[in-house]
Chains A and B, each alone.
Chain A
Amino acid sequence: MRQADIRAACVLIAVGLVTIVFVIPRQTTPGNTFGLPPAFMPSLTMAIVVGLSVLLLVRSLAARDDRRPAPILAVEWWLLLKTGSLMLAAVVAVHVLGLPIGGGLGVAGFMVYLGERRPLPILATAIGSAGAAWALFVYLLRLSL
């Protein structure tokens, strides 16, 4: 965890400084002559993040190695990539085909991904989810999906 804390602190310091120096000035307006500029609170909060991250870095460097495994193992990164990709695919399906159909396909896809092989539960759950989405959002709430 010590190594992970050092890396996390470095990333936070770098992201924080880039945000304060480059992002916030470009993404905010100067504001009025009275009151505080719009950049005030984003800059303040990001400065706090940077300051606390420096403290975290110092504390982690001073600490002894705790010999605990890395908080995210290589296999977990790989699983995150796979699961995240499937989630993205489900979201794209919803985007292209609409919530009822895209969502139904997403449900079926995730069931197969998680190891479900019985066609009846897959079909029933996917169609049930799609039907419920249609009934609630389209029929009852009159939303366009």
Chain B
Amino acid sequence: MDALLAGFADSLTLATLGFVSLGVLIGYVVGVLPGLSRPTALAMAVPLTFYMSPLAGIAFLIGISKASGAGGAITAILMNVPGEPNAAATCLDGYPLARQGKAHKALMISLYGSVIGDIFGTIVLIIVAAPFAKIALAIGPVELSAILLFALTFIAGLSGPSLLKGLIAGAIGLFLATVGLDAETATPRLTFGFLELSDGVSIMAITIGILGLSEMILQIEDRFLGRESQVVLTEATDRGDRGLTWADFKGCLRTIIRSCCIGTGIGLLPGLGATVASFAAYAAARRASTDPDSFGKGNLEGVAAAETADNAHVPASLIPLFALGLPGSVGAAILIGGFMVHGIAPGPLMFQRHARLIYGIYAAMLITSLVILVVGRIGLEGFALLARVPTTIINPIIIFLCIAGSYMEGSGMFGVYLMLGIAIFGYVLRKLDFSFVTLLIGFLVGPMFELSVRQSIIISHGNPLMLLDHPTALTFLALTALATWHLGRREVAPTTG
């Protein structure tokens, strides 16, 4: 109890509060700028924490990590460009809402969803971090492979009109993820002699190309072909449509609660990223809705689902890190650097050796959520002003941001040319109804999927009967088969006029 009180008192010092606020501000900026992703910002910020106390340093990094998730929604809603890859699902309904003049409503629900998800995830972290160690140990490569397969099939079936095309897109995504150095032999694979491809196809080139630039191509096409009489984001004339009403919030509450659970649940599983969480929550919200056809056309629940799950995932992904020393996400992996700078090894022993620090971090995480709410609430008005800028100005700026974002990612001009090629590929995919969402997810989970499949084959010596020893994996494989049957039924009927 002494450690608990001391930890909470430490987090309320001026220095810690200041660094939390600074982290949140930086996180928002990082989230808003496409290309400057959470891991990049965290990696750049870790050396700075050397000059801070351990608590202030970790709180600063967590502030960046949490706020970038909330900030990513702003460009996703206003520009259809995910400031963070995790905000990709937010684009699906956020941007259509903005085009209907309901940008402010979408921004508000994304902020509240983010904060609620964040607080929920943090509370779960506080409650289960220590006991979770035993459960998480049971998740081996076989289980992880089955879970990822299920997630991909589920998303392929729900994110587009055709399960078959969705699965093809997912497989293409998995294939693209194999480019780069082979993890086992460290030899180049499908790099065609380009040194820039040694680390694989750039994540930002894929996300910005497929989601950002290809959307710009589509918008420009619509403009020239006169399909959009009014492409300027304007405010709705109906007063109730401009801001978030209590009825709107109440209508989304069930979705928010469900997404909190999905985001936290996926965050608990090491390796499944926030992007999977947000898309899974989005798919679940669509499935549970009485009007699933309105999803993708501007449904407030879609925004709430994606943002809540995304932000619930961030603190939840720290559970494996705190409990076992295993990073549950890229951001958590970089946080290890923040701990190591101060000579602290994350893991079960941390609860005994640095209990005061742990409780201080818990308190700082809760404070961060409140700071995100305040900064987001104040800054939202400023960001919402972007809605009044005409597309003749905003589209060139977005194209410029796409170029700058993919340049920033690290592979220089190579990444920009790659992003341009991927954008044109993404345009064709979208036109032909291949689910670009599944391609993106396949690409993001690809390295993890490959590693777990290879480990599973090696430990089982290629004998499929070993699955009988893994009931959790069997359950997920059965769910995958069920999802394929259920979602694929509509494929059987020939297309009619």
Report which A residues bind B (CB closer than 8 A).
1-2, 4-5, 8, 12, 23-24, 27-29, 31-32, 35-36, 38-42, 45-46, 48-49, 52-53, 55-56, 59, 62-68, 71-72, 75-76, 79-80, 83-84, 87-88, 90-91, 94-95, 99, 103, 106-111, 113-116, 121, 125, 129, 133, 136-137, 141, 143, 145
Contacts and interface: CB of A to CB of B under 8 A. Distances in A.
Nearest to A55: B164
Given A71-B431, A80-B424, A83-B221, A27 B396 contact: no
B176 to A, nearest CB: 9
Contact of A106 (B165, B172, B188, B400): B400
B291 interface: no
B400 A129 contact: yes
Interface of B: 33, 44, 164-165, 167-168, 171-172, 174-175, 178, 182, 184-185, 187-192, 213, 217, 220-221, 223-225, 391-393, 395-397, 399-400, 403-404, 407-408, 413, 416-417, 420, 423-424, 427-428, 431-434, 450, 453-454, 457-458, 491, 494-497
Instruction: Give the one of A1, A56, A62, A109 with max B CB within 10 A.
Output: A56
B413 A94 contact: yes
Nearest to A96: B413
Contact of B164 (A32, A56, A76): A56
A35 B184 CA distance: 8
B70 to A, nearest CB: 20
Given A45-B178, A64-B495, A88 B420 contact: yes
A38 B185 contact: yes
Is chain B's interface secondary structure helix, strand, loop, or mixed overall? helix
Contact of A125 (B178, B185, B397, B491): B397
Nearest to B217: A83
A29 B181 CA distance: 11
Contacts of B33: 136
Is chain A's interface secondary structure helix, strand, loop, or mixed overall? helix
B431 A28 contact: no
Instruction: Give the one of B190, B423, B433, B450 with max A CB within 10 A.
Output: B190
Given A35-B184, A42-B175, A80-B221, A4 B432 contact: yes
A44 to B, nearest CB: 8
A127 to B, nearest CB: 12
Given A38-B187, A91-B403, A106 B396 contact: yes
A71 B433 contact: yes
A145 B397 CA distance: 18
Given A36-B184, A41-B174, A103-B404, A121 B454 contact: no
B164 A52 contact: yes
Contacts of B417: 91
B496 A106 contact: no
Given A42-B178, A48-B171, A94-B407, A125 B396 contact: yes
Contacts of A35: 184, 454, 458
Contact of B428 (A41, A72, A110, A137): A72
